[in-house]
Structures are given as C-alpha cells and as structure tokens.
Amino acid sequence: MTGAYFLFGLLGLELAVPPSNAGAVWPPAGIALASILLWGRSIAPGIFVGNFCISAWAFGFDNQPLLIYLATGFGATTNALMGAYLIKRWVGFPTELLEDRQIVLFLFLGGPLSCLIPATVGISAMTAGGIITPSEIPVNWFSWWVGDSIGVLVFTPLLLTLFANPAAIWRQRVIPVGIPLILSFILVAVFFYYIQKVEYQRHEQEFDNQSLVLSQALKHRIQDQAQSLYGIRNLLIGIPDLDEKDFRLFSQPVLKEFDELEAIQWLVYKPGQFNKTSLKTVYSEQKTNVATYSDPLPAPLIDRMIQANESKLLAKAYIETVDDHLIFLMPVYQNTALNKTSLKGIVSGMISIPLLIHQVFKTLDSDGIYLAISGTDNMSGYRIIYSNTSNNLKGDYRQYGLQVADQIWQLYFYRDSALAHSQTHWSMWWFLISGLLFTCLLGLGSLLLTGRYFKTERIVDERTADLLQAKTSAETANKTKDQFLAKISHELRTPLNGILGFTQLLQKNSLISGLEKQQIDIISHCSEDLLTLINDILDISAIENNKIKITPEKFDLSGLLDDICQLFSLKAKEKQLDFVTSIGKHPRYLEGDKKRIRQILSNLLNNAIKYTDQGIVGLTVNYHDGLLEFIVTDTGCGIADAHLNLIFSPFIQVTEHGTITEGIGIGLAICQELTKLMKGDIKVHSEPAIGSEFIVTLPVSCTDFENTSLIDEQNSQRTGGKAKINALIADDNEINLLLLSNLLDAQCCRIDSAMNGQEALSLIDRNHYDLAFIDLKMPVMGGIELVKKLRNKRNGLKMIAISAYADRQMIQEALNAGFNDYLTKPIDSDQLIRLIQTTQINHE
Ligand code: ADP
C-alpha cells in the first residue's frame, strides 16, 4: 500500500500546476479508499506511511516540516477510513452498484464529502507551520480538496472494476468503465504535459524578447546621453573661453531632456595647483536637490587621459561608477607650443543608475523582470554596479554585454517565475480540472449506464425465466388439451359412428316413410353438425400446433361442386333463401387437397346461410391460369368495417347488439389457415345490412385431364359386375361391429367378425380374407400390434384401420405399421363403398 501510494503520489505531483505543489488530481486518495473498501482497515498504516513519504519528498526531505508530514499522513488515512465507513454505512459494500442513487451516493460520500478532511487538516498544519499565509488558505484548500475528490472519482471506480466483488458484475465493467476512465485520464494528462511545455517555451521566448528589448533600450538611452555630453565637450574644445552663461545655455536643455542626468560639470586641469587633485570645478549645472560629485577623481584615471593624449589615442570618454551613479568623463585637450596638446579639463555628466533603469523599464513591458549590472572597474576590478533583484530569484537569466565608454558592462536579466506563472496558473489549472472533471463525469456516466444495463439484463433474465416457465406450463397445458381433445373426440366419435351409420341405414330403408323419415333426417342432420363441430375443434387445435398438413391429390372438382351445390341448395331452401350458383369453365380434375377445399367452401356457405335471414346466397367458381377462385356472397347482416380484421381470429364472434349466434367462432380462422397452407388467399368485403362477399383464391394445378377422366369411366363400368369378397371386421364395440356388418352386407361381402386382435389373428390364420377392417383400440391385442404380427403372412390381404382418433399423427402411425388405409369413425359410407369397389376390381 505504501509503495502504491508513493508511486501514484509521484504521478499526482507531476500533475501539479506550477508554481504550486497542489496536484490537480491526487490519485492516491482514490487508491487508498478503494483499498480500505476491498481489503479492510488493516491497510490504513500503509496509507499513513505512504503519504508521509510523499510529503517528505515534495518538501525535499527537509526535516523542518515534520509535523506537516504527520498531519497530511493523518489527513489522508482518516479520509480513506471515513470514506469507507460512510460508504459501508449508507450504500453497503461489497455492492454491485446498480442503482443510480447508490452510484451517486457512493461517489459523493467517498469523494467530495470525505475529502474535506485531508484538505482541512493539511492546510491547517501548513498555515500553522508558516508555509502558507492566511490569505493563501482558500485557494490552497480548494485545490487540495478538488484534487483529492477527483482522485477518488477517477481511481476508486477503476480499482473496483479490477478487484471488487461480485466479480461477475464488476469484471464486466472493465471495458465499459475502466478503459474509458483510464484512457480519458491519460489523454488529459498527456495533453496537460503538452500545454505545459508549450507554455514554458512561450515564457522563455517572452523572456528572451523582453530582456533583449530592455538591453537595447538601455544601450540607446546611455548612448543618447553620451552624445549630448559629447556636444558640450565639443563646444568647450571649439570655444576655449566659453563663459558660464553659455555653458548653462547649452547644458540646461540636455539636463531637462534626461531625468536621470543629474549634473553636468566643467572641471579644469591644472597639475599641482589645487588641493588633493589637480582638477577644479569651474562650471556646474545640476538638478535641484542633487549633490554633485565632489570626490577627487582617481589619479590613474587622469593619468590614462593624459597618456591617451600623448599616445594620440582617440579616447572619447571614460566612466566612473560611484554609489548609484554613472559618471561620464570627457577630456578636453588644448594645443600647446610645439604642436602638442595637453589636458585642459574634463566635461563630466552624472547619471543616476536607478533613475536610468526606471526610465528604460517604465515605457516597456518589464513586468516581473529584474536587472543586475556588473562591470570591471579600473580600480576595484569586477563589481556589481547595480541590482534590483531579490535573493529569492534564482536560476534562469539572460546575459548581454554592453559597451559603455571605455568599459564593458554585463547586464543580467532575471525573471520572477512566480509572477510569470501566475498569469497562466489558473488557466492551466482550469484546463486540467475541466479535463479531469470530464473524466469523472465519464466514469459516473459509464457506471450509471452499466448499472442500468445490468439491471435491465437481470430483469430480462428473470422475465425470460418466467416466460420459459410459462411457456413450459402452456406447452404442458396444450399437450394435455390435445390429449383431452383426442380422447374426447374419440369418445364422441364412437357413439356418433353408431348414430350416423344406423341413421344412414334407416334412411335407405324403404319401409320407413313420412314423419319417421323426416325425424330420421333430422337425426342425421344433427349428427353431421355435431361431427363437423368435433372436426373443427380438432382442426383448430391442430392448426395451433402446426400439425395440419395439406395432402394434394388428384380430385374431381365437378363432383365436389355438385355435392356442395346439392347440399347447400337444400340448406338454403330450409331457410327460404335462394341459392344461386355460377360455375365458370374449369377442368374437371385438379391437383389439390379435396377434403380441405370442401371444408373451406362448406364453412363459407354455412356462414352465408347462417347470417342471412332473407335474400340470396350465391356461389361463383372460376378457374384461370392455375388459380381456382370461389366467391361466396350473401345478402345477410354483413360485417362492420371495424370487425373485418377480427373475424378471422379464433373464437371471435362478432355479434350485433349482443345476439348470440350458433357456432363457436373458429370456422373463418380454419378457412384462413387452410388457404394459407395451400398458398392461397382469402378476402372479405362486407357492408352491414347489405351483405358479405368472401373471395378465396387457391393455386391448384390441372393434371392430365383426358387420361384421368378415361380411367374413371373404366372403373365405373367394371364395378358393374360385383365380385364377392371376403371381409373380416375386428372391433370390441358391438354397435360398430353391427353397423359395419350392415354396410358391408349391402355391398355383397362375406363377413367374419372378431372382438379383439387375437381373435382376428386366429381367423386370418385359418381363412382367406380380401379385406380386413381393424379397430385400432381393442382389448387383448390392438390393431397396430395385429398388423405388425401379420407383416409377413398377409397373402394379398388389404388391411383398413378404423378408429375414432382422427389426428394425423395417429393416421401416420397406423399407415407406417402396415395398414393400407385408414377410415375415421363415424364411417363415411361413400368412402367405404369406394374401398370395396377397388378391392373387387383387384380381386377380379
Ligand atoms: P362462427 O360462425 O362459428 O361464429 P366464424 O369463424 O365462421 O365463426 O365467423 C366468425 C364471425 O364472423 C361470426 O361470428 C360472424 O359474426 C362473422 N361472419 C362470418 N361470416 C359472415 C357472413 N357471411 N355474414 C356476416 N357475418 C359473418
């Protein structure tokens, strides 16, 4: 912990904005909080030592502020402990942190709230230790607090994504939370470094420019004054007997021009004549309240002036620096006999150096710039001529050489870096803070988003599990329903078989007539309705389970239409409705599922008759381009527009004014599904009180019409001479046995019967049969078992399964087991007759 704290502390110090030491982000604060949360309070001493070390490092291992190190260490440790306590108390930890409120509270308690502690403790200790002044408290406190808070907001979530539990949630946050956080942090840090570098270069450049401009300005100002003094010196050379008035006349404007030029004097040289020195002030012009230079000029200087004259060196001027003053000394030579010159006197100009610097600096940009001038004096050698720098200016400076008369000065420009940085300090700090705040917001945002994502995922998982369970229950219920339907339909079909079969026999009985015949017709009619209802219920159940299959086969469309027209013209007549048909040109034989086409037509026509009280029910049939079209029209009650979409939904009945109609609302649903399965289409147009029109189009191909028709004719001719065939009936239900016997007897069959599979088996062993009608559900031995046993010894025996089970799966199972055909109870006598006829043909 100590090592981690120290290392990240170094990173924090790097991100400090100069000249302050307060980092804009303090990563160790976040690391400390996360560590306490993850590994408990025993980590705390590590935090203390880590902070102590990094503080000592920041202060250059100075032992003076030892108490400050202790205080900051205490502050940092308390911060982490307090943050962890508050989080555990109000949010709880370990936590998944999924709720928005939890996330915000977590970051607030661990970040801004508990970070009040280290800033307050640290700043108090520093103020007490005299490191910062009271006026600096607010700024320092604020940046300390912000730095710690950002450290927590960025680094705590980062560490939690790596180490927190439950791992299943937190590790999934590494990519959406951890990576953006760290990338954004690195980006801000790198960008900050770059800006800092650019700023540094800008400062350096600025300092270069400032110091160069100032040094040039200083040079020119000194030169200007020297030039003016030369003017006066030249005057004294040109006019040897210049009087004081003239001297003043020329000196005054020069004095006025330069504030720092305090006095101009004319000193006469008379070797050995005056006290102390051979020079005597003759004229002196000076500014008020300025003491002129009265010290004796150093003898070596005068010697040099005399020597310069003798060696014909054109020495123009000499300088002397005394206290804060720069004194220009300009010798005036006079001609003597023998073509020689001798020193006549000196024109001196006294310049105040501070005033000179002030004059130069005041007009130029010199904020935070300090100057030190050094020169080599004739007598004392190297010495500082002027300095306005303070002791705490260290390091960086710019140096320029400046020739002033006979001396070379060195100008040293220093810069107050605190002042220079102070201009950019806050802008850089704001940049860093905004970047880091962005990072914090990114962290917060991604935590919130992932929290919501996980929450949603959990809800979805729960719902999916619920749905799966509901689906399983629904499937089980559906299966139970299917079994129930199959069972109930079997139980209903068995007695119906008896009713319908005997009704048909009675209908054929010529002895019955009149009222009885009518009553038998009603029984037959009701039984058929009941059978249709059972079939419809089975069909809708099969549709819901996708169990319905379409089996296209060659069929006689004309025959089908004749049947239908015959049946529905009777039904229409019963309701005193006109039944109008318009059958267009069509091929007789088509390829399609006849049973299902009949079902659709019957449903539509049944509805048309059912919902029409007076008027007409019509059927139009067209065939063109492989499309068979049925249009069923009526002049009945019609359907409101709003209901047109509903009527095709199962179990929906659209009754007007609450009238209860017969039916259960599945007819149209079946029609729609069947047309869909046949790749056809069903449409409805209707107007309330006017009538309805249902249009069904089915793609049905036309098979070789000529050939089929021929075969059919041959069949009908040959069935004329019936051959006697031997039939076996096996059924445990005596009524069914009786019914079948009656039906077969009518077809001139010789019949044996058995009550179960075992009996049937021994009969087959002993006798020869052409046809066997075997019930699937029998005691001792069922139909399927029987057919399997007979697999190898059938000897031309055609086996027909009979069952009240009408579902496709059952039929398929029976056919797979070895049955040649399948008849559902109640037995369709037409179908039975057809079967016997084909057997007779083969028999012959
Ligand atoms: P059912 O006839 O058993 O109620 P259907 O599925 O056949 O069920 O029809 C659904 C509903 O559509 C019927 O209840 C009826 O309101 C409406 N409908 C069907 N055919 C017609 C029609 N020819 N005229 C008026 N309404 C009809």
- Token readout for 533 is 């209802």
Output the CA 809–ligand 1 centroid distance in Å: 30
Minimum-distance ligand 1 atom for the alpha carbon of 661: 4
Residue nearest to atom 21 of ligand 1 (CA): 607
* β-pair partners for 381: 377
In whole angstroms, what is the distance from residue 443 CA to residue 577 CA?
79
Verify whether ligand 1 is closer than 6 Å to residue 663 (CB atom). yes
In whole angstroms, what is the distance from residue 130 CA to residue 317 CA?
53
Output the CA 628–ligand 1 centroid distance in Å: 23
- Token readout for 781 is 């031995």
User: Sorting pLDDT into bands at 50, 70 and 90, what band is 767?
Assistant: confident
Verify whether ligand 1 is closer than 6 Å to residue 691 (CB atom). no
Output the CA 647–ligand 1 centroid distance in Å: 6
Output the CA 649–ligand 1 centroid distance in Å: 11
Please give the residue that has the higher pLDDT: either 614 or 656: 614
C-alpha Rg value of the chain to the nearest Å: 60
Verify whether ligand 1 is closer than 6 Å to residue 669 (CB atom). yes
Verify whether ligand 1 is closer than 6 Å to residue 688 (CB atom). no
- Token readout for 365 is 């940009």
In whole angstroms, what is the distance from residue 475 CA to residue 477 CA?
5
Burial class (CB within 10 angstroms; exposed 0-12, middle 13-18, buried 19+) of 416: middle
Please give the residue that has the higher pLDDT: either 410 or 707: 410
Record the pTM. Answer: 0.54
Verify whether ligand 1 is closer than 6 Å to residue 673 (CB atom). no
Query: Is the bond preceding residue 94 a cis peptide, omega within 30 degrees?
Result: yes
Angle at the Cα of 367 from the Cα atoms of 364 and 368, rounded to 5 degrees: 140
What confidence score (pLDDT) does residue 324 get?
84
In whole angstroms, what is the distance from residue 517 CA to residue 96 CA?
82
Residue 568 has pLDDT above 50, yes or no: yes
What confidence score (pLDDT) does residue 717 get?
34
What confidence score (pLDDT) does residue 711 get?
33
State how beta strands 749-754 and 725-730 pair: parallel
Its sign, for the CA torsion 109, 110, 115, 117, is positive
Residue nearest to atom 1 of ligand 1 (CA): 665
Hey, which of 9-18, 304-313, 577-586, 675-684 has the most confident mean pLDDT? 675-684
H-run or E-run covering 630: strand 627-634
Buried-state track 555-585, b at ≥16 Cβ within 10 A, e below 16: bbbeebbeebbeebbebbeeeebebeeeeee
CA atoms lying within 13 Å on the CB side of residue 486: 15
Residue type, 766: R
Q: Which of 653, 659, 666, 694 to mutate to test the pocket of ligand 1 (most atoms within 8 A of CB)?
A: 653
Question: Which stretch of 167-176, 202-211, 377-386, 540-549 has the lowest confidence by average pLDDT?
Answer: 377-386
How confident is the model over 101-130, as a mean pLDDT? Answer: 93
How confident is the model over 75-92, as a mean pLDDT? Answer: 95
What confidence score (pLDDT) does residue 706 get?
44
Output the CA 571–ligand 1 centroid distance in Å: 17
Question: Which stretch of 102-111, 292-301, 829-838 has the lowest confidence by average pLDDT?
Answer: 292-301
Verify whether ligand 1 is closer than 6 Å to residue 653 (CB atom). yes
Residue 311 has pLDDT above 80, yes or no: no
Residues 6+ apart with CB under 8 A from 641: none
The string of pLDDT tens digits covering residues 171-211 is 999 999 999 999 999 998 898 888 888 888 888 898 899 99
- Token readout for 760 is 């049937």
Residue nearest to atom 8 of ligand 1 (CA): 665
Query: Is the bond preceding residue 166 a cis peptide, omega within 30 degrees?
Result: yes
Query: Is the bond preceding residue 118 a cis peptide, omega within 30 degrees?
Result: no
In whole angstroms, what is the distance from residue 706 CA to residue 703 CA?
9
- CA distances to 481, 482, 537, 670 from 542, rounded to whole Å, are 11, 8, 9, 10
What confidence score (pLDDT) does residue 335 get?
74
The string of pLDDT tens digits covering residues 485-525 is 778 877 888 888 888 888 888 888 878 888 888 888 888 87
The string of pLDDT tens digits covering residues 135-149 is 888 888 988 898 899
Please give the residue that has the higher pLDDT: either 707 or 790: 790
Asked if 370 contacts 393 with a C-beta cutoff of 8 angstroms, the reply is: yes
Output the CA 653–ligand 1 centroid distance in Å: 6
Residue nearest to atom 7 of ligand 1 (CA): 667
Chain length of the chain = 844
Q: Which of 611, 655, 672, 693 to mutate to test the pocket of ligand 1 (most atoms within 8 A of CB)?
A: 611
Output the CA 668–ligand 1 centroid distance in Å: 7
Q: Which of 575, 668, 675, 683 to mutate to test the pocket of ligand 1 (most atoms within 8 A of CB)?
A: 668
DSSP state of 20: -
What confidence score (pLDDT) does residue 24 get?
76
How confident is the model over 360-388, as a mean pLDDT? Answer: 81
Calculate the average pLDDT of the chain. Answer: 85
Residue 712 has pLDDT above 60, yes or no: no
User: Sorting pLDDT into bands at 50, 70 and 90, what band is 655?
Assistant: low
Please give the residue that has the higher pLDDT: either 7 or 298: 7
Verify whether ligand 1 is closer than 6 Å to residue 78 (CB atom). no
Q: Please state, for a pLDDT cut of 90, what percent of the chain lies above it.
A: 37
Verify whether ligand 1 is closer than 6 Å to residue 690 (CB atom). no
In whole angstroms, what is the distance from residue 466 CA to residue 457 CA?
14
Residue 388 has pLDDT above 50, yes or no: yes
Residue nearest to atom 13 of ligand 1 (CA): 653
Residue 381 has pLDDT above 90, yes or no: no
Asked if 780 contacts 757 with a C-beta cutoff of 8 angstroms, the reply is: yes
Minimum-distance ligand 1 atom for the alpha carbon of 669: 6
The string of pLDDT tens digits covering residues 660-680 is 566 778 899 999 999 999 999
Output the CA 757–ligand 1 centroid distance in Å: 46
Residue nearest to atom 19 of ligand 1 (CA): 607
Minimum-distance ligand 1 atom for the alpha carbon of 650: 6
Asked if 752 contacts 729 with a C-beta cutoff of 8 angstroms, the reply is: yes
Asked if 796 contacts 770 with a C-beta cutoff of 8 angstroms, the reply is: yes
Verify whether ligand 1 is closer than 6 Å to residue 664 (CB atom). yes
State how beta strands 771-775 and 798-803 pair: parallel
